[in-house]
């Protein structure tokens, strides 16, 4: 993922959360929780903070497979689609 793509993804994440969208993550090893911080490094490893306390480093594909969004509405729907499209084109 290019630097510009990472920046766009982080910007969309911020805009979506500002609009009230709540991101969740969970898999077999990590209990489901609300993502309260989201960062991507140069090797496409995502660092997420769940519920404001636990921090995890996960691979991009794991994030794609195991994240969800709540609270997407008419005003944030297109941003949510762009966020998912960027992830799919990684």
CA distance linking residue 48 with residue 37, whole number of Å? 5
Instruction: Give the residue from 18, 23, 46 showing the smallest Cα distance to 36.
Output: 23
User: Would you list the domain boundaries of the chain?
Assistant: 3-88
Per residue in 57-68, pLDDT (tens digit) is 999 999 999 999
Predicted pLDDT of residue 1? 83
Query: Mean of the pLDDT values across residues 46-72?
Result: 94
- Per the prediction, the chain carries an average pLDDT of 93
Asked whether the predicted pLDDT for residue 70 surpasses 90, the reply is yes
Crossing angle of helices 77-88 and 3-18, rounded to 10°: 150
Residue 11 binned pLDDT confidence (cut-offs 50, 70, 90): very high
């Amino acid at each position: 993922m290019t630097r510009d793509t990472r920046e766009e993804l982080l910007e969309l994440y911020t805009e979506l959360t500002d609009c009230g969208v709540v991101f969740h993550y969970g898999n077999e090893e990590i209990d489901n929780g609300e993502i309260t911080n989201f960062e991507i490094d140069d090797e496409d490893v995502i660092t997420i903070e769940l519920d404001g306390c636990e921090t995890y480093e996960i691979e991009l594909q794991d994030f794609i497979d195991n994240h969800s969004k709540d609270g997407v509405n008419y005003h944030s729907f297109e941003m949510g689609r762009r966020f998912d499209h960027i992830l799919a084109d990684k």
